[in-house]
Chain A
Amino acid sequence: MTASKEQFLENPLGTKTTLEDVLDAFEFLDDWEERYAYIVDLGKQLPAFPDEARIEENYVHGCQSQVWLIHHYDEDSGKLFLLIDSDAIIVRGLAAIILVALNGKTPRDLLATDIDELFEQLNLFRHISPTRGNGLRAMVGKIRDIAATEAV
């Protein structure tokens, strides 16, 4: 991929910002405004995405907004690192949540993660239209495909 290895490894989502952090935070968010404000903030943690990687091959189809996704498989640690970008602010936040759950895992661990259960826990799908839910599933599907390829 066009991004350097460092760009992938420096992604705080899934490393510095953990799933526990997000689950803890969500517990204290009462209404949709707080919930979305938090999602928007999470999205701000997405690292810069290399412009040259915005190509058809990395495009995630099935989202209303434009979404790109690239990966780096780190031979040394055997872990899969991901970068996602979108032109929509909420989608960036939702991508951040996906990364918190899936970034920096071995492909095997990644495939064993039940992302639906996580969204259930976060009560996210109930607040997200089916159209957007499809976009989320498209992102997760693409990540799982990558993991399945790298796991071989």
Chain B
Amino acid sequence: MTDLSVATNTTSPAFDVESIRRDFPILAQEINGKPLVYLDNGASAQKPVAVLDAMDRYYREMHSNVHRGAHTLGDRATTAFEGAREVVRHFLNAPSTKEVIWTRGTTEAINLVANGLAPRLKAGDEILVSHMEHHANIVPWQMVAERTGARVIPVQVTPEGELDLESFNSLLNERTRVLALTHVSNVLGTVNPIAPLIEQAKKQGVITLIDGAQAVPHFKPDVQALGCDFYVFSSHKLFGPTGIGVLYGRAELLEEMPPYQGGGEMIERVSFERTTWNVLPYKFEAGTPAIAEAVGLAAAINYLDSLDRKAMEAAENALLARANALVETVPGMEIIGTAKQKVPVMSFKIAGLHPSDIGTLLDQQGIAIRTGHHCAMPLMDFYGVPGTARASFAFYNTLEEVEKLFTGLQKIQRLFA
């Protein structure tokens, strides 16, 4: 494909998007005879060569099972795998690698925590979520509530798409046991002011979980500065491989929680009389883990670290600003989610058009967006729409691509006129 070295572009202080795009081979193709414009990064991001190469190299040179230790390949695989855990620890600024648990993704991480906190919950307890949560941060709590008699309570959202802080203040009370909030809304792009909310919750002894799935592709979270008990994200939205995600959890709570699944790796000693659990983080990692995927995720994080973060964020903000400026060129177009703090995610509707019409006809023009309810049906209900069209940008998108999106939308409107 390309022989570009991925870790050597630190020499250029400017953010050269054309050079960066060459790191993502999938972007250089045509769809329906048009150059691909990939604006569905919120659903899953594309992978740089660094990730592809790291996984390829892992399988070619070092694959074996991990933590078995009897031979050299096993050592190599374990070193790569545990090295990846350290990369993630550093990325999150977690105090220790024993607090970094591999999961299949954000969804499994939340299920793990919900399940693990079940013994603490009883009838009358409240789990505070918000109206803008992804189903993955609603349904696992509903399931645990069903088992324990606790209740799931949503914090309201303002029409602009921000968390309603008055609602938060009125709902956080002595019955609240868990606060589970998204860092960034997958539909609205809103960056929630989670730090003060976590602080408020902690004062009342409430356990806090932050869904970072939509945040980490845009900025680095610092779990110590945030002070949350749990922080979860998926690799595939962070330019890494599918099938792996991360649960950061405070050791004290992880120690207390029961294992999520039983099997190999998670045990210390098994007998039919008594089985004891392995230490953290392995207690929560039953079975052979996704080793190559962990290596791939670490490569993605290292790749991102090689970029100029400030320049990257500025470039993303420029994409969103350009998109916002062009909204008025499409009559009847309305943005859903106009929070002051946003990542470059733009949900919208166009009067008279169903989101699926928009998605289909953009695809004809080589433009990939997401349409539908975005696994956030309560939020769709709140806005009274069956779904939205969503363009979600990544740092490898160009201003020209933003313009193509709007040219495409104008064309669709003419077609339906």
Contacts and interface: CB of A to CB of B under 8 A. Distances in A.
B364 A127 contact: yes
A36 B356 contact: no
B354 interface: yes
A64 B415 contact: no
Given A32-B32, A65-B354, A65-B386, A132 B415 contact: no
Contacts of A40: 415-416
A77 interface: no
Interface stretch (A52-60, A82-90, A106-114): A82-90
A118 to B, nearest CB: 19
Which of A32, A86, A132 has its CB near the most chain B CB atoms (within 10 A)?
A32
A66 interface: yes
Interface in B53-98: none
Interface in A109-152: 127-129, 132
Interface in A61-91: 64-66, 86-91
Nearest to B364: A32
A36 B371 contact: no
Interface in B263-316: none
A25 interface: no
A113 B386 CA distance: 33
Contact of B357 (A66, A88, A127): A88
Contacts of A66: 386
A37, A66, A89: most-surrounded residue (chain B CB, <10 A): A89
- Give the interface size class of chain A: 10 to 19
A88 B354 contact: yes
B411 interface: yes
Interface string B338-358: 000000000000000110110
Nearest to A32: B364
A128 B360 contact: yes
B360 A132 contact: yes
Interface string A23-49: 000000000110011001000000000
Interface in B359-417: 360-361, 363-364, 371-372, 386-387, 411, 415-416
A132 B371 CA distance: 12
Contact of A65 (B356, B411, B416): B356
A91 B41 CA distance: 26
Contacts of B361: 36, 90
A129 B354 contact: no
List of 7 A-B pairs having minimum Cβ-Cβ separation, nearest first: A88-B354, A32-B364, A64-B356, A88-B356, A89-B357, A65-B356, A90-B357
16 contacts: A33-B364, A37-B415, A66-B386, A87-B354, A87-B386, A88-B354, A88-B356, A88-B357, A89-B416, A90-B354, A90-B361, A91-B354, A91-B356, A127-B32, A128-B360, A132-B360
Interface of B: 32, 353-354, 356-357, 360-361, 363-364, 371-372, 386-387, 411, 415-416
